[in-house]
Amino acid sequence: MNPWKYLLVIFPITVASLQAAVYCVVTNAVTPSHPYDTWGTAYTNIQDALNAARSNDTIYLAGHTFALTSQLSWTGIASHVTVRGGYAATNPSISGGERDSAQWPTVIRQTGSDRVMAISKVTNGVLDQVVVTGGNPPTASSQWNGVGLSVEQCRNFLISSCVITSNRMLLSNATKRGGGIYSLSNDWLVVSNCLIRGNQLSGNTGGDSIGGGVCNSQGKLLCVNTEISSNSAARSSTGAAVFNYGTNVLVNCLVYGNTQTLPQSGNVGIIQNFALAGGRLTIENCTVVSNSASVGVGTGSPSVTTATNSIFWSNTDDLNGAASLGFCAIQTTDTFWTNNVNGCFTNNPLFAGAATNNFRLTSSSPCKDTGTNLAWVTTSVDLEGKKRKSGLNVDIGAYELQGPQGTMVTFK
């Protein structure tokens, strides 16, 4: 699928296409040697390749497990660089070649006491088809930002088709931000076609846990066609799945099974738009379901939250605070919205199999063909990579129920 069909409607992001040099990285090169551009002469350390890369270079990562003892550091000197995983790397005389991240997953696993990767001041960088896991910061920390990935002060950086999972910070009396991804002061960080699952911010006593899956601070973040699930934040937590105090756009995303653990008093959202910072949160064609936190999508003045074509269902709470809503299916009725106004309703969305986490729509769902056709829907795809608008109007939620496929008949 091509995520740029949607992204280019939101903002003009560009990625350099001129290729200057290629570097390969494996765990078991035959003869590592300059220029490290075949699988047989490859680097055996990702950090060495990042240190060597310059504008328009590409780094190929074999479908191996790369064990780290300290964080990887990707800095602005390696702007306009693409890092791609998922290669078979079986032919020692070539670079690239067969690629299938399902068959040959590239796993970057932290085995020490650190985050997995810090990305700072990079322009037009791409991280594509890797698994980021095992982030585990030192227990003596009083504050930590980004357990899996920390992305700071970048411009037009793309994280594509990656899995960010099982990164955990289990610290008491510490401020913890971004179990999966921490985004700070970025001029568009784009998270596209990713899975952010099972990341954890926890501690037995004290400390704030902010953004179990994703924390966006002060910059611009777009999450598109991405699943954010089974993440958790403990105690004085806010944003079990997502916390925003910048500009955050969620499109075609599935947010489910995220929890606030060891809850304390206060309004703690599944998706929290921080009031004091004046955050701007936009939710379009998302499904937010089966999450547990003190409140659902939380917002407060002067922050602005807008939700369109989205489903909020089977959460401990769906909404808290004033939001601009249109064409949404919302289970709980409260003072924050009015039923049957602006296309919103409380009818059961009739998922295909909620008990098995199948949140696609059935043919009898009231969400079918009842959304509003936003500018991007005719040229984009849904969370599953299928046509985003298959009927007269787009469906509500992250999945589009596809119409019957016709048969072409040729007359001679």
* Residue 382 domain flag: no
Residue 8: inside a domain, yes or no? no
Token digits of residue 96? 């690239």
**Mean pLDDT score of the chain, rounded to an integer?**
87
Asked if pLDDT for residue 235 goes beyond 70, the answer is no
* 141 falls within a domain: yes
**Contacts of residue 224, Cβ cutoff 8 Å, sequence gap at least 6:** 3, 6, 7, 190, 191, 192, 193, 249, 250, 251, 252, 253
Residue 203 covered by a domain: yes
Determine contact, residues 235/259, Cβ cutoff 8 Å.
no
Give me the number of domains the chain comprises.
1
Question: CA-CA distance, 239 to 244, in Å (whole number)?
Answer: 8
Domain that includes residue 350, residue range: 15-373
Mean pLDDT across 57-78: 97
Flag whether 404 is in a domain: no
Task: Kindly state whether residue 116 falls inside one of the protein's structural domains.
Answer: yes
- CATH number, domain of 168, equals 2.160.20
Looking at residue 240, what is its pLDDT?
Answer: 83
Residue 337 in domain: yes
Overall pTM surpassing 0.85 (yes/no): yes
Per-residue pLDDT tens digits for 334-365: 666 666 678 999 999 999 999 999 999 999 99
Whole-number pLDDT of residue 253: 97
Does residue 159 belong to any structural domain of this protein?
yes
Per-residue model confidence as pLDDT tens digits over 205-229: 667 788 899 999 989 999 999 999 9
Q: What letter would DSSP give residue 80?
A: T
Angle at 100 between CA 132 and CA 53, to 5 degrees: 60
